[in-house]
Amino acid sequence: MSANTLGCLLNRANLKRVMRQSPTGFLGASRHFSVSTFSQYSKEKVTILGSGWAGFRLAKDLNPDKYEVSLISPRNHFVFTPLLASTSVGTLEFRNICETIRHHNPNVNFVEGTCEDIDFANRKLKVATSFTTSPDLHSFEMGYDKLIVAVGARVNTFGIKGVQENAYFLKEIKDAQKIRRRVMDCFEKASLPGASEETKKRVLNFAVVGGGPTGVEFSAELHDFVKEDLSRIYPNLMPYVRMTLYDVAPKILTAFDSRLTEYATKLFSREGIRIQTRTSVLELKRDSMILNTGKEIPVGLVVWATGVTETPLIASLGEKVRKQNKRLVTDDRLRLLSAASGQVIDENVYGLGDCASIRDNAIACTAQAAEQQARYLVKVLNKGMSENTPPFQFHNRGVMAYLGNWNAIVELKDPTPSNSSLTLSGKPATIKQAGRVAWFLWRSAYMSKSVSWRNRIFIPFYWFMTYVFGRDVSRF
């Protein structure tokens, strides 16, 4: 293959990249690289950080004929987080909410590791792998043409003493597995022949900190598990079981309409789930927690669901990028902004999902926001960004939460309302439901939003299996 032919196949930038890959230079590359290899190098290299709602959607839908896509994440799967609470008590199995990255897009170059630093000037990433036992595989550098930062966020402990060591979180599959084991440990410990009254009261006192949808749904799922399954196995322990939901706000579920919040509060009260608002945790010990009221409460399990904060990568970027409330700041086309100038740091570097916030348009850290941003960026990159590219616009489709015992609350909004769906005030119509109808809408929405047909089939199947045979109480 002659040099003229190669010049037609490759632009100048990609030609330099090929020359760098070959120790013999350009002529060596012509002898040792096939046409298919040159086709690969003619693609732009897009590197995605994170396999959450945003990162997974981008890796799945970016045009493989146009981009060479790499995804860096410490996990090789996507987690359908809205149903994570269901897996923690056995309503669903863990694989029902997982989607393997390589399965959905075999063309993606997946790297199991964590990005520790970004060199924006030289377009380099410092990556640490999960294989710490092999020194030669521990860390390395990767280059990129386009970079998409979608590393999500981690649970916010607010620096409270003992929370990181003693609380249980609900962000990953491994978190749900730990909770499931802990619940069973508590009941088995309380059922021991020598267990005292004080021990039974302590280990069967379950606390959830955080009155948002995550905390409320886990409380509901745990209540169903105890009432429908564990009560048959441990009937003598039921008088000792206590469940309490703590929150610093005046009420729970502040994102919902006040009437729906009131419905949830009354339902929890009838079902025996205590709600303690205007209450914060000062310290969390191994078997107890100290509240701002001065009381020390003995507990067997504390699930922490109080919001999110920045990941180590975002914290390490320091003054390189602009931040607000510990989130990266982007323009309305999702491009990262420089901390020094306030301008776009690089036309080819984007931030989206929980780790980023749009300038002058802060959006809550939700799955629907991350997925909408990913869909927008997929269209932009597949078609090519230009000056006429419209800015990203978030369409709030509403919120929903499961309350237990076949009850839920749902507040749905029409993202693209027609004239007939407008209220007298000119605002989009909103559907507000509570009870059994809302429960049906909740299950239908989560089932339909599952990424694969495999899980769209398995999720209702396991719901039916749980209804007929009950939840599995085995400890793994």
Q: Which run of H or of E encompasses 68?
A: strand 67-73
Residue 70's pLDDT is 97
Q: Are 350 and 149 in contact (CB under 8 A)?
A: yes
Strands (E), 315-397: 323-324, 327-330, 349-351, 356-358
3-state secondary structure of 2: coil
Residue 444's pLDDT is 93
| Interhelix angle 436-449/453-469, nearest 10 degrees | 140
Residue 428's pLDDT is 55
Measured CA to CA, the distance from residue 430 to residue 421 in angstroms comes to: 9
Measured CA to CA, the distance from residue 426 to residue 435 in angstroms comes to: 28
Residue 384's pLDDT is 81
Count the neighbouring beta carbons within 10 Å of the beta carbon of residue 179.
23
Count the neighbouring beta carbons within 10 Å of the beta carbon of residue 36.
7
Structure tokens given for 319: 């003054």
Which residues of the chain register pLDDT less than 50? Answer: 1-40, 417-426
- In this prediction the pTM is 0.86
